[in-house]
Structure 1
Amino acid sequence: MITVDHLTKSYGRFTAVDDVSFACRPGTVTGFLGPNGAGKTTTMRVMVGLTPATRGSVTIGGLDYHQIPNPGRHVGVLLDASAQHAGRTGREVLTIGAQTMGLPRTRVDEMLALVGLSPEESRRRIKNYSLGMRQRLGIAHALLGDPSVLILDEPANGLDPAGIRWMRDLLKSYADRGGTVLLSSHLLHEVEQIADEMILIGHGRIVAQGDRATLLEGSDGVQTLVTSLDNAALATALADGGHRVESAGAGLRVHATAEAVGRAALSAGVVLTDLRSGGAGLEDLFLELTSATQRDPLTEGTPR
C-alpha cells in the first residue's frame, strides 16, 4: 500500500508538487499521468527517499522508505533505465543487487529469464544495450527482491509493441497476485488497458483521479454511436429516456452508455445495425484537463 498525504515539494519559489494526496492499493495497477514537468517523477523520488518532501508525507506499508529494512525486498523501483553503470554487464548489475539484498545467485538467472534477456545479452556491457534492453534490465532489478510494491517511471519507454504487451501482461499478473503497482507513463492507450485506477496531474496538482468509467462519467467522453433500421423511433425513445441525441452520418450520436442505448432500442422494438463507443476517450480527457500545462500547444489542422 502506498499512501501519499498532502505532499508538497518546493524548490525556492517553484512548487513542483502541490498538496497531492492519493493511495495505491494492493492488487491494483495505478496509472500516474501528466505532461512533462507535471510532478510525476518528483513525487516518485520522494516516495523512495531520493528527494525530501517540503510538507506532507509518503508511506509504503505504513513506513517511510528509509524506515523499511532491506527495502529492495519490499519495494521495487525503476526511475531511470539509464542510471546503471555503463561499464558493467547486465548480469553484474543483478548479481550486485542480489548480494546487497541477501538473495541467492539463482535469483539472477530467474529474473534474466523472466524479462527475456538471453545469456549472451546478459554478458554485454550496459553501454551496448538498447533502451528497450535497459528497460528490461531495470524491471528485472525492480523485481529481484520479490517486492510487494512496484514504483515504475515510464517503464514502457523504448520497448517495441511486443515488449509493451509483455510488460503489460507481467504487471497485470503481478497485481493479480496481490502486488501494488504505481506506473507513470505517457502512453495513455497502454495505461487504459492495464490500470485499475488513474491519477491525472498537472502543474503539480491532481486534476482528476478514479477508474476509467469514473473519469469519463458525466463528461462528453461517454458517448455511443448507433445505427438502426428506424433511427427516428430510436431517437424518440432515447430522448424520452432523458438522453441527448444528435445526428451523426447515417446514424445517431448518443450521450449515454452503449448499455443504455441497447436497452432503449429493446424497449422501442428497434433493430440495431451498429453500436459502438463514440466517446473521446481517456486521451482527450487528459489533454482537456491538462491543456494549460502542455509544453507544446494543441492546434487544429496542419501547419502551412
Structure 2
Amino acid sequence: MITVSGLTKRYGGFTAVDAVTFSCRPGRVTGFLGPNGAGKTTTMRVMCGLTPASAGEVTIGGHHFADIPNPGRHVGVLLDASAQHAGRTGREVLTIGARTMGLPDSRVDEMLALVGLSPEESKRRVRNYSLGMRQRLGIAHALLGDPSVLILDEPANGLDPAGIRWMRDLLRDFAARGGTVLLSSHLLNEVEQVADDMVLIGNGRIVAAGDKATLLASSHTGALVQGTDPAALTAALVAEGLAVRPAGEGLHVDATPLQVGTVAARHALVLTDLRPGGGGLESIFFELTADSSREAVPTLEGAPS
C-alpha cells in the first residue's frame, strides 16, 4: 500500500508538486499519468526518499521509505534505467544488489532469466546495452529482493512491442499475487491495458483519480454507429427522439450503445459498428491536462496554406 498525503515539493518559488493526495492498493496496478514536468518523477523520488518533501508525506506499508529496514526487500524501484554503472556488467550490477540485500547469488540467475537477458548479454558492460536491455536490467534489479511494492517510472521506454507485452504480463502477474504497482508512462494505450486505477497529474496537482472503468466511462458521451442503410438508421433513431449527427462514415447518437442497438433491432436494421462515443484514455488525458501541456499546433510564417 502506497499512501500519498498532501505531498508538496517546492524549489525556491516554484512548486513542483502541490498538495498531492492519492493511494495505490495491493493487488492493483496504478497508472500515474501526466505531461512532462507535471510532477510525476518528483513525486516518485519523494516516495523513495531521494527528494525531501516540503510538506505532506508518503508512506509505503505505513512507513517512510527511509525507515524500512533493507528497503530493497520490500520496495522495488526503477526511476532511471540509465542510472546504472556503465563500466560494470549486467551480472555485476545485480550481484552487488543481491549481496547488499543479503540474497544468494542464485537470485541473480533467476532475475536474468525472468527478464530475458541471456548469459552472454549479462557479461556485457552496461555501456554496451541498448535502452531496452537497460530497462530489462533495471526491472530485474527492482524485482531482485522479491518486493511487495513496485515503483516504476517509464519502464517501457526502449522496449520493442514484444518487450512491452512481456512487461505488461509481468506487472499483471505481480499484482495478481497481491503486489502493489505504481507505473508512470507516456504510453497511454499500454497504461489503459494494464492499469486497474489511474491518477492524472497536471501542473503538480491531481486532476483526476479513480478506477479505470469509472474514469473511462466518464468520457463515453453518446454512441458511434454505422449500418448498411444509413438513411433508414437515421430515420429510425430520429423517430425515437434521439439526436443524431454525422460522424466520419457513421453517426454520433446522443444515447447509449444499448439504446441504439435496441432501436436498430426493433427496426430490423443491420449494424456494422456500434461503440461508445468517448475517446478513451487519450481523450481524458488531453482534456484534463491541456493547461499543463507544452504542445500546440505550430504555425510557420510563410508556410503554404
TM normalised by structure 1 equals 0.92
Q: Which moved more, 1:139-148 or 1:210-219?
A: 210-219
Q: Does 1:248 align with 2:247?
A: yes
2:95 maps to what in 1? 95
CA-to-partner distance for each residue in 1:218-245, whole Å, 9 max, x for gaps? Answer: 44x4342212443111343362xxxx43
Q: Does 1:118 align with 2:103?
A: no
When residues 170 and 247 of structure 1 are mapped into structure 2, their CA distance, relative to the original with a 3 A threshold, is same
CA-to-partner distance for each residue in 1:186-238, whole Å, 9 max, x for gaps? Answer: 1111111111111111110011112333224444x434221244311134336
Question: What residue identity is the alignment partner of 1:31?
Answer: G
Q: How do residues 127-206 of structure 1 correspond to structure 2 at under 5 angstroms? A: 127-206=127-206
Question: What residue identity is the alignment partner of 2:296?
Answer: P
Q: Is residue 81–residue 135 contact of structure 1 (8 Å, CA) maintained in 2? A: yes
1:281 maps to what in 2? 280
2:20 maps to what in 1? 20
1:291 maps to what in 2? 290
When residues 199 and 260 of structure 1 are mapped into structure 2, their CA distance, relative to the original with a 3 A threshold, is farther
Q: Does 1:76 align with 2:79?
A: no
Q: Is residue 216–residue 222 contact of structure 1 (8 Å, CA) maintained in 2? A: no
TM normalised by structure 2 equals 0.91
Q: Which moved more, 1:274-283 or 1:162-171?
A: 274-283
Unmatched tracts of structure 2, length 5 or more: none
Q: Is residue 222–residue 256 contact of structure 2 (8 Å, CA) maintained in 1? A: yes
Q: Is residue 237–residue 244 contact of structure 2 (8 Å, CA) maintained in 1? A: no
Q: Which moved more, 1:137-146 or 1:287-296?
A: 287-296
Quote how far apart the aligned CAs of 1:268 are.
5.5
When residues 100 and 188 of structure 1 are mapped into structure 2, their CA distance, relative to the original with a 3 A threshold, is same
2-structure distance, mates of 1:288, 1:43: 22
Question: What residue identity is the alignment partner of 1:161?
Answer: P
Q: Which moved more, 1:28-37 or 1:269-278?
A: 269-278
SS of equivalent residue, structure 1 residue 6: strand
Q: Which moved more, 1:224-233 or 1:149-158?
A: 224-233
Quote how far apart the aligned CAs of 1:294 are.
1.3
CA-to-partner distance for each residue in 1:61-111, whole Å, 9 max, x for gaps? Answer: 111111111111110000000111111100001011111111111110010
1-structure distance, mates of 2:293, 2:174: 32
Q: Is residue 264–residue 270 contact of structure 2 (8 Å, CA) maintained in 1? A: yes
SS of equivalent residue, structure 1 residue 295: coil
Quote how far apart the aligned CAs of 1:162 are.
1.0
Quote how far apart the aligned CAs of 1:156 are.
0.3
When residues 41 and 235 of structure 1 are mapped into structure 2, their CA distance, relative to the original with a 3 A threshold, is same
SS of equivalent residue, structure 1 residue 31: strand
Q: Is residue 253–residue 278 contact of structure 1 (8 Å, CA) maintained in 2? A: yes
Q: Is residue 40–residue 201 contact of structure 1 (8 Å, CA) maintained in 2? A: yes
Moved over 6 A (4+): none
Quote how far apart the aligned CAs of 1:260 are.
4.0
**Number of residue-to-residue matches in the alignment:** 298
Q: Is residue 234–residue 268 contact of structure 1 (8 Å, CA) maintained in 2? A: no
CA-to-partner distance for each residue in 1:278-299, whole Å, 9 max, x for gaps? Answer: 4222112211211121122246
